[in-house]
Amino acid sequence: MKTLKTFATMAAMLLCCVIVNAQTLVDGIYYSLNSSSATATVTYGSTKYSGDIVIPETITYGENVYTVTVIGTSAFNNCYNLKSITIPKTVTSIGSSAFSGCSALSSVYISSLEAWCNIPFSKYDNSNPLSYAENLYLNGNLVTDLEIPNTVTKIKDYAFKDFDYFTSVTIPESVTSIGEEAFNSVGCEVKFLSSTPATLASTSCFSSNAVL
């Protein structure tokens, strides 16, 4: 009996070590924390987000530092008063409906196009905040002429879906594939710097108005 109790206690302690809290509030943002991987997922809480939200690369909770790697499912769902969102380069995944209903969202701030192009967005559920925003900022600068860096080899599905505010797009020879509807609303000139064009997931990668 004593052995059984000891085992139960150890199991409970192990569970607590893996997941600290399903909703931990740090500097106005709710997180789910995983201490085994030292990572944090942005999630929703009892209060809707509004205004300008800046997601940091890391957060500190207690004596531990966590890297923010995920924006969870429905994290900003129906946050009607959300005006801008800053997403760090540490984020590698954005869940379904993460930005659904964010009708006032006007600006998205990022620090790495390479990281952005590698996020696997989904098609129908507004996981990509650019579906609403009219402005994309890279390191504080408004992006009008989009130049994909030569560190990018693949542009994932829906990377710039529904965003039609570029005046030009330049794709380097390092890019070997472009995902589904990645530039589906782009109506400007698109320059390929490679003599061998990247593989397109489908004809819907670019808008029919794009100048290829």
> What are 145-167's pLDDT values in tens digits?
999 999 999 999 999 989 999 99
Please give the share of the chain, as a percent, with pLDDT higher than 70: 84
Query: Could you tell me the pLDDT band of residue 194, with boundaries at 50, 70 and 90?
Result: confident
Report the alpha-carbon distance of residue 37 to residue 19 in Å, rounded: 10
When pLDDT is cut at 50, 70 and 90, the band that residue 6 belongs to is very low
The larger pLDDT score, comparing residue 55 to residue 196, is at 55
User: What are the structure tokens assigned to 56, written together?
Assistant: 């940091």
Hey, what amino acid is at 130?
Answer: L
d(CA 195, CA 201): 18
Tokens found for residue 161: 């879906």
Greater model confidence, 211 or 149: 149
In this prediction the pTM is 0.86
Q: Where are the alpha helices (DSSP H) in the chain?
A: 2-18, 113-117
Average confidence score pLDDT of the chain:
87
| Residue 110 scores a pLDDT above 90 | yes
Closest CA to 141 of 110, 185, 162: 110
Tell me what pLDDT residue 125 has. 80
